[in-house]
Amino acid sequence: MRDIITPPIKGILLNDNVREAGSFIDEKTGREKTYERAYFITVLPLGASNAKDVMKVQVEERLEQSVQKQLSDVAWGSLVLIRVSNYRMTDIQVLSEPLVDFEA
């Protein structure tokens, strides 16, 4: 399989969260769909002008703990640079934290 690597994406960090494993019934097919636990970050790329441009990217499982630790003290709205390969985030760098002085 060929790796799909996108250029680095610079954007505003909106959220990071863990989705627990679960399931649901697909209303169209009536079949049960299951999904695994995953850690996601949500980023608005710089220059984006629509809500549809917001990116929700799954963090590679092997990087979850280090990314969670790195983002634990970072305020939302921070400028980040992410690298994505095969639709998974492989690296994140915090470039600037402009809202850190305004957090309560």
Structural domain range at position 56: 9-96
pLDDT of residue 104: 54
Low-confidence ranges of the chain (pLDDT < 70): 1-2, 100-104
pTM: 0.81
Q: In CATH, what number is assigned to the domain containing residue 53?
A: 2.40.50
The percent of residues above 90 in pLDDT, for the chain, comes to 69
Alpha-carbon Rg for the chain in angstroms: 16
**Spatial contact of 44 and 53, defined as CB atoms under 8 Å apart:** yes
In a domain? residue 89 = yes
Specify the pLDDT at position 51.
Answer: 87
Residue 58, in any domain of the structure: yes
Torsion of CA 72, 19, 80, 96, to 10 degrees: -30
Give me the number of domains the chain comprises.
1
pLDDT at position 103 is 57
